[in-house]
Structure 1
Amino acid sequence: MRKLQQRLDKIKDNNQAADALAGRRSEVKPESASPVAPERSRGRRRGWLIVLGMVVFGFVFGELALTVQGWSGPDFSDARRVGKATVVSCERRGPIGWGIGYWDQCTADVVWDGGFSGRYAIDRRNFFHADEVGTTVTIGEGAGSRGGGVVFSRPELPHRPAVVALGWGLAVIASIPILLLLGGTFVAARDAIRGVSKR
């Protein structure tokens, strides 16, 4: 009988200890117990800021590349025909988009050597300037790269290989974050498709 009483007392003590432990657990606040949710939202916000920064970085360096390229033109000596261009009117473009800063898109009446003439709107950065309206300048017409399209050249805007190389270098720098974003988007889409297919 005494052994049975001792066992019952021991079981009772164990039950009281378990109840006390359960009471302590219920007093713990969920916020202090699990700091995972705030960390996730903070990490997501930081991720979006990184994505936005990469887009802005790529855009700015792309626009810088276009701006630098505007200080070089096709080689005037490669023109297949030469003519006299009278600048008729100009419209200001910019300051951001296809380069940084302002430039003039001008319309000119051109009389080519050989008698042909035509009116052309030339939107190349630094090719014509608004203060040239009413003046006549010499321009050349040549084939675009790989024979596609038409390009115009001027003796005053020579071909500068170093400027072109700098522009291409800036374009490569601009493409790095864009390629990283495209790669990240591809990986995320692939993982999402795999997750759906596993279900």
Structure 2
Amino acid sequence: MDSHDERMAKRAAERKALEAELDREEAERKAAASDPSAVVVRGREGSAMRSAVFLIGLVALAVILIGSSITLIRLAGRDYTDATRTGRAAVDACNQHGPITNRGFGSWYRCSATITWDDGAASRLTVDAVFTPSDIGTEVRVGDLGQYRTSKQLAREDTPPRPWLTWIGFLVGFLGALPGLLAVLIIRKPLRRQRR
């Protein structure tokens, strides 16, 4: 059997070894905390989520600005004095569209109308964002601005054009293209990395 002094010396040696082990672990933790690569790893935690939220915010901002641009340009109206011919429109029916469409934000109407031109010709047209249901049963003076893609462009005599609103719409559209371009560049980078 060990003497009392030997047991005490043995316990003191075990305690010193345990303290040395704890001191070594503490020194490793401090060294890892001051290591720049450990800080970078800690800084990257949650960065994918932040990047996704930032990208979604950029896309939403681009959509809102471009939609606002289209709305402003639609609300600017067309110039009646630019018409190649004029006539009277009798609106038959209207369908409401909106609040968010390819014509921007807000409600607008697609109406069918019979137009009797001043030269005696008559035509039946369905046009977007020119007439409203309040025009049903009344005659509206309109001007023919020609064809754009597949639809006839009309201007109302009682609606003055607002070219300044068109220019503001173009400016807002340009501002909306910037976050859209930035979003495309951000998405493109990881896609290029995956191709390699």
TM-score (norm 1): 0.72
State how far apart, in whole Å, the 2-side matches of 1:39 and 1:95 are. Answer: 42
Following superposition of structure 1 onto structure 2, how do residues 43-54 of structure 1 map, counting pairs within 5 Å?
43-54=47-58
Q: Which letter does structure 2 place at the counterpart of 1:122?
A: V
What residue ranges of structure 1 are gaps of 5+ in the alignment?
1-16
Selected match of 1:58 from 62, 66, 79: 62
State how far apart, in whole Å, the 2-side matches of 1:151 and 1:77 are. Answer: 13
Query: CA offset at residue 143 of structure 1?
Result: 2.7
Selected match of 1:129 from 119, 127, 132: 132
Cα distance, 1:156–1:41 mapped onto 2, change above 3 Å: farther
Post-superposition CA distance 1:3-59 (Å, at most 9, x none): xxxxxxxxxxxxxx8xx659965xx99xx9878777545111011100111111111
Conserved in 2, the CA contact under 8 Å of 1:105 and 1:121? yes
Q: What secondary structure does 1:143 align onto? A: strand
How many percent of aligned residue pairs carry the same amino acid? 27
Query: CA offset at residue 144 of structure 1?
Result: 5.2
* Alignment-derived partner of residue 3 in structure 1: none
State how far apart, in whole Å, the 1-side matches of 2:165 and 2:188 are. Answer: 35
Post-superposition CA distance 1:130-179 (Å, at most 9, x none): 1111111111112357x996311112222222111001011111111101
Which aligned runs of 4 or more in structure 1 are off by greater than 6 angstroms?
32-38
Conserved in 1, the CA contact under 8 Å of 2:141 and 2:158? no
Query: CA offset at residue 91 of structure 1?
Result: 1.2
For these two proteins, the number of residue pairs brought into alignment is: 172
Post-superposition CA distance 1:52-74 (Å, at most 9, x none): 11111111111211221122222
What residue ranges of structure 2 are gaps of 5+ in the alignment?
1-16
Q: What secondary structure does 1:70 align onto? A: helix
